[in-house]
Amino acid sequence: SQKIEQNSEALNIQEGKTATLTCNYTNYSPAYLQWYRQDPGRGPVFLLLIRENEKEKRKERLKVTFDTTLKQSLFHITASQPADSATYLCALYQGGKLIFGQGTELSVKP
């Protein structure tokens, strides 16, 4: 069966550290993968997109890797800040639509 799995446990880290979130998938062949941020009671907001032929993408303090052999994407936030506290969603693009993971809640403590 097709599955997308993110760290189910909430991630608690200290301000200034690097947060690393994982997204694993099975039985998909996505053309690209996206990461979104979602704050409580709000809609998801796009952060980064990485294509199947790209290994790594960066944007400011954010970095995404994509390993199509391992069927895994890692999402890193360096020099994390309390304002980075939110739920982070990975999503695969397949068949004209996005398929989302369940999200990982990140809490950055000052």
CA-based R_g, the chain, Å: 13
On whether the CB atoms of residues 63 and 79 are closer than 8 A, the answer is no
Nearer to another protein, 4 or 19 (CB): 4
Q: How far is the CB of 96 from another protein (least distance, A)?
A: 7
Q: Is 45 left (phi over 0), alpha (psi -120 to 50) or beta?
A: beta
DSSP conformational letter for 82: G
Binding site for another protein (CB under 8 A): 4, 32, 34, 36, 41-46, 49, 89, 91, 93, 95-103
**Residue (45 or 79) nearer to another protein, CB:** 45
Nearer to another protein, 9 or 110 (CB): 9
**Smallest distance, Å, CB 52 to another protein?**
13
Q: CB-wise, 10 or 79, nearer to another protein?
A: 10
φ and ψ of 84, to 5 deg: -80, -10
For the chain, the first-to-last Cα distance in angstroms comes to 41
Task: In angstroms, give the least distance from the CB of 110 to another protein.
Answer: 26
